[in-house]
Copies of this chain bind each other. A is one copy, B any other.
């Protein structure tokens, strides 16, 4: 799991989701009340499997030489309250954060968005770092939506998945559709997709297309 989580950080870089050290991936250790997460403030170039840290579901450091990511409490809250989740990703990716700073959900106007998100990508509340506020905001918002991604107001994106790779995929797709819908809106109004068609697309993608996040 250390290796998987370490390698997935390279996907954040490759997909231009992060500047400097501002993004992190975690993965639940299968069968245990533990998860692996990025150490705080370490650059992506210097990440190694050994540098990754292990925390319990209250966010306490269990194993590792570095302090865990400053977003650890939010990841831990998600793992505690969503047992079906095996991976969590946090980024400040550009277009998604722009929607978040305006407090606007991203409307579902692309078939790829219906496939992956099953509807709009919702907005979560403004919450300060330091206690359970961010985690609560994530869980409450995602409980009401099919989307594995939530835009936290004035902040950035959190995504979930059945495993860390699925959560990274959701983060990549979230920024991709955030950008495309933004660009579409710059010159007019994208056409909505009827809800029944969104339902059909989502259902097919989740059940026919193969490996997918748990939601």
A residues lining the B interface (CB < 8 Å): 15, 19-20, 22, 40-41, 67, 70, 92, 94-95, 97-99, 101-104, 109-112, 126, 128-130, 153-156, 169, 172-173, 176, 179-191, 193, 197, 200-201, 204, 208-211
Q: Which residues of B contact A189 (CB under 8 A)?
A: 102
Closest to A101 in B: B190
A164 to chain B, nearest CB (A): 14
- The one of B15, B101, B130, B173 in contact with A181, judged by C-beta atoms closer than 8 angstroms, is B101
B residues in contact with A154, CB < 8 Å: 109-111, 190-191, 193
Neighbouring B residues of A111 by C-beta, 8 Å: 129, 154-156
Taking a contact as CB atoms under 8 Å apart, the answer to whether A19 and B187 are in contact is no
In the assembly, what is the distance between CA of A56 and CA of B208, in Å? 21
* Contact between chains at B112 and A92 (CB < 8 Å): yes
Which residues does chain B contribute within 8 Å of A200, judged by CB atoms?
128
**Of B102, B153, B201, which one neighbours A188 at CB under 8 angstroms?**
B102
Residues of B within 8 A of A188 (CB): 102, 104
Contact of A186 among B104, B176, B186 (CB under 8 A): B186
B97, B104, B129, B190: the one within 8 Å of A180 (CB) = B97
Q: Given A104-B188, A109-B101, verify A94-B204 contact (CB < 8 Å).
A: no
Of A19, A130, A172, most buried by chain B (CB within 10 Å of CB) is A19
- List residues of chain B with CB within 8 A of the CB of A126: 191, 193, 197
16 more contacts with CB within 8 A, not counting A70-B209, A98-B184, are A20-B169, A70-B208, A92-B112, A94-B179, A98-B187, A101-B180, A101-B184, A101-B190, A102-B191, A104-B188, A110-B155, A112-B155, A112-B156, A126-B197, A130-B204, A186-B186
A155 and B191 alpha carbons, distance in the complex (Å): 11
> What is the CB-to-nearest-CB distance from A37 to chain B, in angstroms, rounded to a whole number?
15
Contact A186 B180 (CB under 8 A): no
A190 to B188, CA, bound (A): 16
